[in-house]
Amino acid sequence: MKHFIIFALLLITIYSQAQTIDISKDKKDTISYSKLTGETYIEKKGYKGEQNFNKVWMQSDILLCTGEMVLGEKVKYNGLIDQLIWGNATLNQQIKLDKQLVNEFWLLDDKNQTTHFKKISVNNSPTSNHQSDFFAELMVKGNLSLYVQRKISIVDIDNIVVDGTLCRIETIKATPMYYLKLPIDNYVFLEKIRPKSFKQLFPTQKKQIDKLMKENHMKLRDENDLINLIKLLNTQEP
């Protein structure tokens, strides 16, 4: 009897979570459910801050490792756990997709603007001493490409007492990490968006970079400056 009650409560929890999903579809891919695999997902609560890159469900086209495309599914990208969450319309549940299954995905917002994410492999990333695979937004594609890992990190922890119970509250925030893909297909990490940090990655092109920045009145202080500088570098003769 005890086991039955626990199982019933689990079903109620999953059902309650599923009811919050708005996964009406704009396009129909009738064989999506035979292509996408994963496990039931219930978003962990208790954080102060947003853990998803897109707070609302967004239409997405997904490129699988098999080369097949799945069109028009509603997803969220969770930057805290680096996982693509699928709103399964048939089961009315959230599904954490198998990471090795997904190569790329495109998010489409209500203004028809597309955000492109791709799974990349980086050796000796700042968070790991070995090869890491993670999703990153493709910002600039060219001879020199720019990828941004839309990472969500725990930045503070508070222990508070609620009704006599000690509770752990973790504050999370966006902590983007920038990677440049070189012509030799190697990724390098840009620690800070600053002229000095950028030029350290390209010691033989310091004068060219200084000249471009001066001619275009660039300060290289934020993400937009970085995007524009890389686009300018891609127009230069090798």
Residue 95, strand partner residues: 40, 86
Average model confidence (pLDDT) across the chain:
86
H/E stretch holding 206: helix 206-215
**Residue 17 pLDDT exceeds 50:** no
Whole-number pLDDT of residue 64: 96
Residues with Cβ within 8 Å of 158's Cβ and at least 6 positions away in sequence, in order, are 168, 169, 170, 171
**Residue 230 pLDDT exceeds 50:** yes
**Residue 180 pLDDT exceeds 60:** yes
- DSSP letter at 80 equals T
User: What average pLDDT does range 90-115 have in this prediction?
Assistant: 95
H/E stretch holding 181: strand 177-181
* 223 lies in the same domain as 146: no
* 17 lies in the same domain as 97: yes
* 171 lies in the same domain as 199: no
* 108 lies in the same domain as 181: yes
**Structural domain containing residue 59:** 2-190
* 14 lies in the same domain as 113: yes
* 173 lies in the same domain as 235: no
* 140 lies in the same domain as 84: yes
* 29 lies in the same domain as 117: yes
Tens-digit pLDDT profile for residues 119-139: 999 987 776 666 789 999 999
- Structurally, the chain folds into a number of domains equal to 2
* 132 lies in the same domain as 30: yes
**Cα–Cα distance list, 19 to 12, 42, 73, 132, 194 (Å):** 11, 12, 17, 35, 45
**Cα–Cα distance list, 193 to 125, 130, 180, 197, 198 (Å):** 17, 24, 12, 7, 7
Tens-digit pLDDT profile for residues 19-51: 344 444 444 444 455 689 999 999 998 899 999
What's the pTM value of the predicted model, to 2 decimals?
0.82
* 185 lies in the same domain as 209: no
DSSP assignment string, 127-146: T-SS-EEEEEEEEE-SSSEE
**Cα–Cα distance list, 11 to 17, 18, 76, 107 (Å):** 10, 10, 23, 31
